């Protein structure tokens, strides 16, 4: 842990473990000593500072996160605080303090014994996922990187969308290139670097929906071109072939479609 992290821990947080690392910083599990020792997730990010100071996009995104937090939506991970750890002429280090959840959807799926996730559980998770997504979209927030690793699952099965916000602005240019960790859940218009809106999130959710049944990703491309090829080479009705339990999926799919129509979220379906 670096000096900045140590100073922050001395003030309020007791670091427990490093739980993740991305292109823009690390994520730590810690105890919040000023709030009863509750567990939190500290996401440390690096912001390139211009001559005019911190980029307007960063300031705007922090404001968006703060605005979302006032609603405390049950299916969006909570942001408790934003701290400036250090600042130089070229870079500012921020720490975003989120509620901590022990597992993501990838870990959850790996732990589920055969024959897999019960259909009723999938229906419930999809309902929560769409409620969280509808909340984001209603506040003009496009996630753009929905995947199982960015969907948290609490011990009682509550779904929480995570990893949207500050990192999304930082990775805006990179999000359209193969530099991103995974391309498997990205919509065709994103891969083609075309204009896009909230519908790209629905594509990602569709891929995740199939993965809940298959317990493995639907499209495993290794580049933008390869990913597009895997998407467009599939024949009509491919889901009935791709899913090992199409009969079980049918009633679940109908329930999801009804929910989407009620929310007005039917593009990409």
Across the strands, what pairs with 161?
A: 76, 151
Residue 267 annotated as lining a ligand binding site: no
Distance from C-alpha of 182 to C-alpha of 199, rounded to nearest angstrom: 19
CA distances to 83, 146, 163, 187, 196 from 48, rounded to whole Å, are 16, 25, 19, 28, 26
CB 153 within 8 Å of CB 10: no
Active-site choice (104, 145, 163, 224): 145
Distance from C-alpha of 174 to C-alpha of 195, rounded to nearest angstrom: 15
Active-site residue 163, yes or no? no
- Residue whose C-alpha is closest to residue 137's, from 2, 268, 229: 268
- Residue 212 host element (H or E): helix 199-214
DSSP secondary structure letters along 65-109: HHHHHTT--TTBPPEEEEEEEEE-SSEEEEEEEEE--SEEHHHHH
- Residue whose C-alpha is closest to residue 206's, from 269, 157, 120: 269
DSSP secondary structure letters along 240-268: HHH-S-HHHHHHHHHHHHHHHHHHT--TT
Provide the 8-state DSSP code for 174.
G
* Catalytic site positions: 145
Return binding residues. Answer: 43
Return binding residues for ATP. Answer: 43
């Amino acid at each position: 842990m670096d000096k900045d992290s140590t100073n922050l821990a001395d003030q309020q947080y007791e670091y427990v473990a490093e739980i993740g690392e991305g292109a823009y910083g690390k994520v730590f599990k810690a105890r919040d000593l000023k709030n009863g020792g509750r567990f939190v997730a500290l996401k440390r990010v690096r912001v390139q500072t211009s001559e005019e100071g911190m980029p307007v996009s960063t300031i705007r995104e922090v404001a968006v996160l703060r605005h979302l937090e006032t609603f405390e939506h049950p299916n969006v991970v909570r942001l408790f605080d934003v701290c400036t750890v250090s600042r130089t002429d070229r870079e500012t280090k921020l720490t975003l303090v989120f509620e901590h959840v022990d597992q993501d959807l990838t870990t959850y799926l790996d732990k589920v014994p055969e024959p897999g996730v019960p259909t009723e559980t999938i229906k419930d998770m999809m309902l929560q996922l769409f409620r969280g997504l509808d909340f984001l979209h209603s506040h003009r927030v496009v996630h753009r990187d929905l995947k199982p690793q960015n969907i948290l699952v609490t011990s009682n099965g509550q779904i929480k969308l995570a990893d949207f916000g500050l990192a999304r602005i930082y990775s805006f240019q990179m999000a359209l290139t193969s530099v991103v960790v995974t391309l498997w859940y990205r919509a065709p218009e994103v891969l083609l670097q075309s204009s896009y809106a909230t519908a790209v999130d629905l594509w990602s959710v569709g891929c995740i929906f199939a993965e809940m049944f298959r317990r493995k990703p639907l499209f495993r491309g290794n580049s933008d071109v390869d990913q597009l090829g895997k998407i467009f080479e599939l024949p009509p009705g491919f889901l009935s072939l791709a899913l090992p339990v199409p009969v079980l999926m049918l009633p679940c799919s109908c329930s999801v479609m009804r929910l989407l129509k009620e929310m007005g979220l039917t593009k990409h379906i």
